[in-house]
Amino acid sequence: MTWRRQEFLADIARTGVLTPEYAEDVLVRLAHHSAGIEGNTLTLADTVTLLVDERTPTAGTPVRELYEVANHYQGLARIVQAVADDEPLSLDLVTDLHAALMDHLTHDPGRFKTSSNIVTGASWRPAPPEQVPELMRQWADQAEWQTANLDNQPLLEAIAGAHIAFEHIHPFSDGNGRTGRAIIAYQTIRRFGFPAIIQVAQRSAYISMLDTQETSSLTRLLAAALAGETDRRLQFPSDRGGRTTEEGADGGEET
């Protein structure tokens, strides 16, 4: 793997956004659930073994599945660094997240697709490659303005809508789902102090929301995730959560 646990924890500690203890808990859950939504078979216990104990969980585990999880070391570190630096949601951040999450997994990490792709079972077709650069510039400009200027329920609605729009553009040859969910983590840590993590158990409902563009349903899912994360973070009393504001609680109430 290109990153190790100590590199990740050191990077997190330097930012001061999350404590290493809470960040490691987020890392394990984000990696497990986001990879699992894409079909990764590692269990939550396997993910702990790989990311915390730094051991291969089961002999014969496909190398690809190990990278799908372990690449979240660098992915989450990039998210937290962006929050610490007040970095806007830009094309550079999006492509950096894709490059981190798809390291060793694709031939074009961090680069937009150059050929058409499809989403198996979807009722819609992704944007053609020649339209992606301009669509993504427009997407990033709008998503950044919304992330920076909206609050509470309108902010969560904007995050949900931006995620659906991103997935329908489908700007990369592979890794669009993982990158899109990493962007949600960035937006919610930036504005609420902790991430909204979509769980693998919600996979079927979540995929349906993307397919039918159910922004209101995805908004409720994100609000519930944030409410649960508010309680979970209390288990880490030393966590500074420097970006938490009063709108965090409000955003989680309207479910």
Task: Give the tokens for residue 224.
Answer: 């519930």
pLDDT at 239 over 60: no
Residue 26 tokens, joined: 């987020």
Assess contact for 198 and 95: CB atoms under 8 A.
Answer: no
Tell me which residue of 100, 74, 90, 69 sits closest to 12, measured CA to CA.
74
Q: What is the DSSP letter of 19?
A: -
Is the pLDDT assigned to residue 252 strictly greater than 80?
no
- How do residues 145-196 score in pLDDT, each as one tens digit? 999 999 999 999 999 999 999 999 999 999 999 999 999 999 999 999 999 9
d(C-alpha 127, C-alpha 105), whole Å: 22
Each residue's pLDDT tens digit, 38-80: 999 999 999 999 999 999 998 899 999 999 999 999 999 999 9
pTM above 0.85, yes or no: yes
Asked if the model's pLDDT at residue 254 lies above 70, the reply is no
Rounded CA gap, 96 and 94, in Å?
Answer: 5
What's the angle, vertex CA 215, arms to CA 24 and CA 41, rounded to 5?
40
pLDDT of residue 52: 97
Euclidean distance between CA atoms 59 and 74, whole angstroms: 24
- Write down the pLDDT at residue 1: 52
pLDDT in the model for residue 242? 45
Instruction: Walk me through the domains of the chain, giving residue ranges and CATH numbers.
Output: 5-112+121-247 (1.10.3290.10)
